[in-house]
Structure 1
Amino acid sequence: MRDINERLNYLIQSVPAKVKQYSEQEFSVRIEDRWSKKEILGHLCDSATNNHHRFIKIQFEKQPFVIVPYDQNNWVLIQDYQNMPLDEIITLWTVLNRHILRIISKIPEEKLGYVCDIGDNKSMTFFELVQDYLRHLEHHLKQIFGTSEL
């Protein structure tokens, strides 16, 4: 968990500065008729919101904890990240991830093995879910900033 905490903390410190290197217009351009960089960043806020709840509930609800998916496209559309000021989106992203870092840094070791039902007769441990959150975050940050080192 220490590596995950350190990596998430690094991203929380570095991503806002990288975002400030771009204009609002650059972040608003749609990528291959899909989401814009603003919308990808908004999606990462939605991911943080959903995982924040999961990371708390897993620790005290019945095992295996059932992961309920959410309609990512509609979440992005309804919240209108495309027309939201970029500085508000990055502030939201930063605050949400600081809070997630606080939560995951307090997870008792014995709870990391708790089982999560991810659907389709598949499961993962709580630890693997936290790892997957970071992997998902980094995947989308690479979409936003390219393959340069984050």
Structure 2
Amino acid sequence: MKKIIERLNYLSEVLPSKINQFSEVELMAKPNGKWSKKEILGHLCDSATNNHHRFVRMQFEEQPFVVVPYKQNDWVIVHDYLNTQTGDIVTFWTAVNLQIINVISKIPEEKLSYLCDFGNNKVFTFLELIQDYMRHMDHHLIQIFGTSDL
């Protein structure tokens, strides 16, 4: 958990300046009709808000906690990240992840073994859910920056 918290703190410090290295044209480009860099970052905001709720609710709701999926493409479209000010997306991403740090840093050790049910016989521990959140984020940061070395 310590490594995850350190990584999130680090990313919260460096991501804003790293994003600012791109021009708005680069941030809005949609390669092969896929999400732009801005939309990917917006998707990471959506992921953060959904996971923030999961990380809170996992601690006090009935076990196993049933994870409700969300329609990622629809969320990106509804939020219109492509036409949202980049600074606003970065501010949102940073704020939500700082709150996630606050939540996960206070999870009692015994709760990390709580189970969450994703359906289709997919069950993770709370710790695995948090680890998966970081893997997912790193996957998309590579799409944005072309490297995992942030």
Distance of aligned partners of 1:64 and 1:148 in 2 relative to their CA distance in 1, 3 Å threshold: closer
Residue correspondence of structure 1 range 44-83 to structure 2 within 5 A? 44-83=44-83
Aligned to 1:6: 6
AA matched with 1:83: N
Residue correspondence of structure 1 range 1-150 to structure 2 within 5 A? 1-147=1-147, 149-150=149-150
AA matched with 2:48: A
The answer to whether the Cα contact below 8 Å between 1:51 and 1:133 also exists between their aligned partners in 2 is yes
> Deviation at 1:32?
2.1
Aligned length: 150
> Deviation at 1:23?
1.4
- When the two chains are superposed, the root-mean-square deviation of aligned CA atoms in Å is 0.8
> Deviation at 1:55?
0.3
* Alpha-carbon separation, structure 2, partners of 1:21 and 1:7: 21
* Alpha-carbon separation, structure 2, partners of 1:14 and 1:62: 37
Summarize deviations over 1:72-113 as a string: whole Å, max 9, x none.
Answer: 000000110010011110011000100001111011101000
> Deviation at 1:8?
1.1
> Deviation at 1:17?
1.0
AA matched with 2:45: C
The answer to whether the Cα contact below 8 Å between 1:45 and 1:93 also exists between their aligned partners in 2 is yes
- The DSSP-based 3-state class of the residue aligned with 2:123 is strand
The percent of aligned pairs where both chains have the same amino acid is 61
AA matched with 1:70: Y
Which runs of 4 or more aligned residues in structure 1 lie more than 3 Å from their structure 2 counterparts after TM superposition?
none
Structure 2, unaligned stretches of length 5 or more? none
Distance of aligned partners of 1:95 and 1:65 in 2 relative to their CA distance in 1, 3 Å threshold: same
Please, what TM-score do these two structures have when normalized by structure 2? 0.98
Structure 1, unaligned stretches of length 5 or more? none
* Alpha-carbon separation, structure 1, partners of 2:31 and 2:18: 18
